[in-house]
Structure 1
Amino acid sequence: MYPSLSIIIPTLNEAKIINCLFDSISKQTFRDFEVIVVDGGSKDNTVKKIKSYAKKIPAIKIIVDRKRSIGRARNIGAANAKGNYLLFLDADVVFDRNFLKDCLAEFEERYLEIATCYITPLSPKLIDHVLHEAANAALKRLQYISPTSGGFCIFITKRMHNRINGFDARLKMAEDINYVERASRLAKFRVLKSCRIKISVRRLEKEGRAKLVLKYLYVPLYRAFVGEVTKPIFKYDFGNHDIHKKIDLKDLFIKLEKNFMAENKKQIGRFRKILEQINKL
């Protein structure tokens, strides 16, 4: 008999933190699930550590795909999933023992086809809690007008995943936001109220809070003025979080302006001609 829920987790060099997530999964009161890990060819002990949970979580499947595209990895996981519900998770999250039970109950009670949940940082620092509560406030308001979610936690029916043809594997960033936007045009999206997920602040620690927040603000601007992120616009690692390139934020916004001018040259030319005609009046 097939499980009702398939949990899909992309991994790459996550040996330092993967135990926390699998400890959370192994302690769940809801047990009708399978776990599908799509590993990007980890060079550490990620796969070995996951295999050590075989007794606690009998239904674990590990697929190795060295393309190292997070959208592609999620699609591979979904293609191998047997559950009617899919749950996409990042490798650095944790949750309490009733998380799956409470989330699925609310998901079904509200007749949802796609959802996310609120977040809590795994950090004692006040600034991290302020930043994450600001993100929660944005999630709460945007769910009604412009639904969005990060890949840390996305619940969706397999039917809806297939209907939108999964994640756009061409995208270098914001593939999760693009996925939620497309699904929410066809089905009801909401932020679940009954559960929260705890997420790592390792990116904030490595890159610096101000820089990372500005990166997150830069991406929607790029998408709004240029289009989907189909080529790298700055370094943003999938796995191997110990290596980061220093980013000149001023250079980022200069690059955005140049890309906008290049991509919209014709439209800008037409706009200037209209302005010239107006000035002659």
Structure 2
Amino acid sequence: MESVSVVIITLNEEKRIGRLLDDLCQQTHRDFEVILVDSNSDDATREVARSYAESLPSLTVHRMETRGVSLGRNTGASLANNERLLFLDADVRLSADFLTKAVNQLNDKDLDVAGVYMGASNLPMVQKLCYAAFNGGMFATQFFFPTAVGACIFSTRAAHEKLNGFNERITLCEDCDYVRRASKNARFRFINITFDFDPRRLDQDGMMATGMTYVKANVRRFFFGEMRNNEMEYKFGHYHEQK
């Protein structure tokens, strides 16, 4: 099966990164490398990651001096050895057959770039409904104005280079901009598979507030273009102490 380069971006994720790396150790699809790009964390994120060197022999831990979501993803892609790329956030969880199912669907559908739906099997009913609504929106808009969750996006080296990577000047919805441009310059669709997404943003900021932030952001993008000058204030990395 196809080789995959898994790019993980981190910032102060010592409490969560081990969970994702454990999930990667359990993958049934074994032909992959892991490139962890850390935005100069203040905690032990890099040390925790390096402790997986034996379990994940194709593991690279790279520290950036400058912090940035898009910068981290682009840096990871530049270090990748494989054509197929998977961009992940540190608080994602994956089932053991995630890569196997994903690679099969990507090849069957002949996709260059693909979004992945959010799973909510272990969350309360209210959050399940919110995730279902969000997934429904991503399914519907993929045909005319694609959006996606940057925490889990597939791409290829060729498509990534053609797109000039993630736009490092965009301050919000850089992931949606990436897939929107991909839909015009490459083969893009969602694949029928889910990943688990940490609900801490919903828990801290509130489900309605978080949902409205992204609805307003994408409505603004649709009518006025991408946000490069903090047109909508949104703080990243402001969550309370992780559990």
Length-normalised TM-score, structure 2: 0.93
How has the CA–CA distance of structure 1 residues 152 and 122 changed in structure 2, closer, same or farther, with 3 Å as cutoff?
farther
Deviates more, 1:144-153 or 1:168-177: 144-153
Opposite residue 33 of structure 2, the aligned amino acid is: E
1:215 and 2:213 matched: yes
In structure 2, list runs of 5 or more residues that go unmatched: none
1:65 and 2:78 matched: no
In structure 1, list runs of 5 or more residues that go unmatched: 244-281
| In structure 2, C-alpha distance between the alignment counterparts of 1:208 and 1:138, rounded to whole Å | 19
| In structure 2, C-alpha distance between the alignment counterparts of 1:146 and 1:229, rounded to whole Å | 16
1:204 alignment partner in structure 2: 202
1:126 alignment partner in structure 2: 125
Opposite residue 116 of structure 1, the aligned amino acid is: G
| In structure 2, C-alpha distance between the alignment counterparts of 1:122 and 1:65, rounded to whole Å | 35
| In structure 2, C-alpha distance between the alignment counterparts of 1:175 and 1:182, rounded to whole Å | 11
Aligned residues: 239
Deviates more, 1:44-53 or 1:142-151: 142-151
Per-residue deviation at 1:5? Answer: 1.0
- Could you tell me the percent identity over the aligned residues? 34
Opposite residue 191 of structure 2, the aligned amino acid is: L
Opposite residue 113 of structure 1, the aligned amino acid is: D
1:76 alignment partner in structure 2: 75
1:268 alignment partner in structure 2: none
Kindly indicate whether the alpha-carbon contact (under 8 Å) linking 2:130 and 2:207 is maintained by their aligned counterparts in 1.
no
Deviates more, 1:43-52 or 1:218-227: 218-227
Report Cα offsets for 1:162-206 as digits up to 9, x if no partner.
11111101111111110111111022211111x211111000111
Per-residue deviation at 1:123? Answer: 4.8
Per-residue deviation at 1:231? Answer: 2.4
| In structure 1, C-alpha distance between the alignment counterparts of 2:199 and 2:189, rounded to whole Å | 24
Kindly indicate whether the alpha-carbon contact (under 8 Å) linking 2:170 and 2:229 is maintained by their aligned counterparts in 1.
yes
1:53 and 2:60 matched: no
| 1:1-281 correspondence to structure 2 within 5 Å | 4-121=3-120, 123-193=122-192, 195-232=193-230, 233-237=232-236, 239-242=237-240
Kindly indicate whether the alpha-carbon contact (under 8 Å) linking 2:172 and 2:234 is maintained by their aligned counterparts in 1.
no
Opposite residue 146 of structure 1, the aligned amino acid is: F
Opposite residue 200 of structure 1, the aligned amino acid is: D
Computing the radius of gyration over CA atoms, which structure comes out larger, 1 or 2?
Answer: 1
